């Protein structure tokens, strides 16, 4: 149902800080919804702004759209969503985000230590991989990602 505070696509884009094309993409991906005026112009409920904000923040830390969609699909659209409902919908992200935080901390601490050094010291360098022992865990940067497989 149309509400007087619904946003045009231009207003929505300006308010959300994304190009109109991004809104169209999010909509085509089923992440946000709009409705059409009799003149076939898109209108967005203001609640869609929160969804766009969540999408943008999640994308900025590398959460795939498929996982963002899973969370957003758990949030009801037909009413104002409570803080508890958002927390419940996002709860499955906790472990994944904790893992990403730990990875970023390792990257910051270990990589930062070695930038500009280049010694690859056998005793102290956290990057040194004696006899490629970490290759036993698979390809890629195993010191940081461990033995888990990468997400698609
Ligand atoms: S390159 Fe020197 S400590 Fe890693």
CATH number at residue 59: 1.10.1660.10
The answer to whether residues 114 and 63 belong to one domain is: no
Domain extent at residue 112: 96-145
The answer to whether residues 84 and 28 belong to one domain is: yes
CB of 114 closer than 6 angstroms to any ligand 1 atom: yes
**Model confidence pLDDT, tens digit, residues 1-39:** 667 789 999 999 999 999 999 999 999 999 999 999 999
Q: Residue 146 in 3-state DSSP?
A: coil
The answer to whether residues 79 and 15 belong to one domain is: yes
Q: 49-63, 84-98, 128-142 — which one is most confidently predicted on average?
A: 49-63
Of 48, 68, 91, the domain-final residue: 91
The answer to whether residues 59 and 105 belong to one domain is: no
User: Considering its fold, how many domains does the chain have in total?
Assistant: 2
With 70 as the cut, is the pLDDT of residue 55 above it? yes
The answer to whether residues 107 and 135 belong to one domain is: yes
- pLDDT of 152 reads 39
CB of 117 closer than 6 angstroms to any ligand 1 atom: yes
- pLDDT of 49 reads 94
Distance 122 CA to ligand 1 centre (A): 9
More confident residue, 78 or 100: 100
The answer to whether residues 35 and 80 belong to one domain is: yes
The answer to whether residues 18 and 79 belong to one domain is: yes
Task: Give the model's confidence band at 151: pLDDT under 50 very low, under 70 low, under 90 confident, else very high.
Answer: very low
3-42 core/surface letters (b: 16 or more CB in 10 A; e: else): eeebbebeebbeebebeeeebeebbeeebbebeeeeeeeb
More confident residue, 146 or 139: 139
Q: Which two tokens stand for residue 106?
A: 């390792």
CA 97 to chain centre: 9
More confident residue, 117 or 2: 117
- pLDDT of 147 reads 63
Q: Residue 141 in 3-state DSSP?
A: coil
Task: Flag whether 152 is in a domain.
Answer: no
The answer to whether residues 137 and 102 belong to one domain is: yes
Nearest residue (CA) to ligand 1, atom 1: 118
The answer to whether residues 86 and 127 belong to one domain is: no
Contacts 24+ apart (CB under 8 A), 94-102: 96/63, 96/67, 97/61, 100/61, 100/62
Distance 140 CA to ligand 1 centre (A): 19
Task: Flag whether 63 is in a domain.
Answer: yes
The answer to whether residues 36 and 72 belong to one domain is: yes
Facing residues of 24 across strands?
none
CB of 124 closer than 6 angstroms to any ligand 1 atom: yes
């Amino acid at each position: 149902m149309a509400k007087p505070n619904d946003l045009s696509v231009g207003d929505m884009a300006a308010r959300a800080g994304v190009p109109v094309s991004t809104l169209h993409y999010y909509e085509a991906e089923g992440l946000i919804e709009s409705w059409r005026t009799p003149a076939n112009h898109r209108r967005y409920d203001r609640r869609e702004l929160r969804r766009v904000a969540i999408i943008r923040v999640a994308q900025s830390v590398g959460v795939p759209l498929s996982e963002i969609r899973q969370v957003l699909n758990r949030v009801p659209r037909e009413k104002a969503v409570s803080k508890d409902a958002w927390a419940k919908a996002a709860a499955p992200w906790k472990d994944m985000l904790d893992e990403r935080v730990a990875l970023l901390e390792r990257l910051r601490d270990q990589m930062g230590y070695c930038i500009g050094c280049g010694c690859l010291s056998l005793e102290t360098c956290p990057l040194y991989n004696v006899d490629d022992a970490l290759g036993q865990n698979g390809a890629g940067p195993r010191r940081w990602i461990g033995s888990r497989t990468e997400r698609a």
